[in-house]
């Protein structure tokens, strides 16, 4: 299966540009390179997809959440409908992308009593390790956070539009 995804630096630029949202810290080059390298591990089962992420500095390192953005239909009977992209994430070389991996967890909450609109967020991969002397907590989520808009708009004529 080919890698048919489009790499982006920020899927959530529209949130960053919001005047009431504080400015995000500049990410170090090594972290940007790490994020870009991980985009190769996402493989949509069909079509194209955009990898998005949220990164923030914590007291003891960096927290990084990655996901594929949704596709929004433009025109026709399904106009405005958004759908997540089915994908697989290769774990084969994930260990090699860190200097040291301390923990790898698959988090699943099938019997959660929490009322969530998006039950897909009840399952995600979590990796804790070290890269460039910094601790990193990486999470791979099955879908984008609710606050993130669509990543791609698919028009009736087949044209794809990247959403900023």
**Averaged over 139-143, what is the pLDDT?**
94
pLDDT confidence tier of residue 10, bands split at 50, 70 and 90: very low
Does residue 54 contact residue 146 with C-beta atoms inside 8 Å? no
Whether the predicted model's global pTM rises above the 0.85 cut:
no
Range of the domain at 61: 5-162
Counted domains in the chain:
1
Cα distances from 21 to residues 18, 56, 64, 127, in angstroms, run 5, 14, 19, 28
User: 11 pLDDT band (50/70/90 cuts)?
Assistant: very low
Average pLDDT, the chain: 83
CA angle 82, 124, 135 (to 5 degrees): 120
């Amino acid at each position: 299966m080919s890698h048919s995804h489009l790499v982006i630096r920020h899927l959530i630029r529209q949130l960053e540009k919001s005047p009431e949202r504080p400015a995000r810290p500049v990410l170090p080059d090594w972290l940007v390179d790490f994020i870009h390298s991980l985009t190769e591990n996402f493989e949509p089962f069909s079509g194209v997809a955009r990898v998005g992420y949220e990164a923030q500095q914590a007291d003891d390192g960096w927290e990084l959440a990655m996901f594929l953005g949704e596709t929004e239909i433009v025109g026709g009977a399904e106009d405005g409908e958004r759908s997540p992209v089915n994908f697989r994430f290769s774990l084969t070389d994930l260990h090699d992308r860190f200097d040291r991996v301390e923990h790898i967890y698959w988090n699943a909450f099938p019997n959660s009593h929490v009322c969530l609109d998006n039950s897909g967020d009840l399952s995600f991969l979590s990796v804790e390790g070290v890269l460039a002397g910094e601790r990193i907590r990486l999470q791979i989520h099955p879908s984008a956070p609710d606050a993130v808009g669509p990543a791609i708009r698919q028009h009736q004529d087949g044209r794809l539009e990247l959403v900023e």
